[in-house]
Amino acid sequence: MEKLEHRVTATRNQQNSRLVSSTVINRQDIERKQLNSIEQALRGIAGINIVNNGGLGKNTSVFLRGTESDHVLVLIDGVRTGSATTGGAAWQHLPISEIESIEVIRGPKSSLYGADAIGGIIHIHTRNAAGSTSAINPVFAVGGGNYGHYKLEGGVSGAVDRAWYNAHLSYQANEGFNSCAGALNYGCFTNEPDREVIRIILERYV
């Protein structure tokens, strides 16, 4: 059996994941479990609680070890990310198809990362084409589900000599759940489902 060893960045330097309280989700885990969002990937991890304020595209808050959502430091490829309005990361706008791995580091790391790392750190590593042998690698995906849900994704990546690029576009739409179910009674005065649309554009050039 092949032994897998993950390395995390809890101390700003790579170290064995067994030396810290951490969980690593790699690309193989995402594809094997057929995860559709980062929220799904984080659910079930010890110490994490997720609260969603609605359906597709609505604000999502992540709590780590009982701390507030703004006490969880979120890094994307080593760069801090957050919202100017909610204080937390915009999880609903991060496409899971562009994620290579997710590190969840539990416990206070304020001495290294500041006050927003009281509960811990979630470090997201995006996919890149640094190891690609082709200058152009197109990708396209289509998905669908209940309540008129559909998803379109497309992108292109590649590498030339020591440079690489990656551009990705994602579009999702959902008719939403209609609690009235066509019957205008018992307090239901309208028959309009909650339509939700989310557009994601991710472009990276190095």
Residue 96 near residue 38, CB atoms below 8 Å = yes
pLDDT digits (tens, 9 = 90+) for 75-112: 988 888 876 666 678 887 888 888 889 999 888 877 77
Residue 36 to residue 93: CA distance in whole angstroms = 12
pLDDT at 165: 82
pLDDT at 85: 67
| Spans of the chain, pLDDT less than 50 | 1-6, 17, 199-206
For the record, the structure tokens of 90 come out as 């915009």
CB burial class (10 A; 0-12, 13-18, 19+) of residue 140? Answer: exposed
Residue 108 near residue 120, CB atoms below 8 Å = yes
Q: For residue 163, give Cα distances in angstroms to 98, 124, 156.
A: 18, 22, 14
pLDDT digits (tens, 9 = 90+) for 19-28: 567 889 998 9
Residue 10 to residue 62: CA distance in whole angstroms = 19
pLDDT at 4: 43
pLDDT at 87: 66
The 3-state DSSP class for residue 71 equals: helix
The Cβ-side half-sphere exposure at 110, using a 13 Å CA radius, reads 7
Does the predicted model carry a pTM greater than 0.75? no
Domains and CATH numbers, the chain: 7-126 (2.170.130.10), 137-205 (no CATH)
Task: Using alpha carbons only, give the angle 23, 26, 31 rounded to the nearest 5 degrees.
Answer: 130
Q: Where are the alpha helices (DSSP H) in 17-143?
A: 27-33, 38-42, 110-113
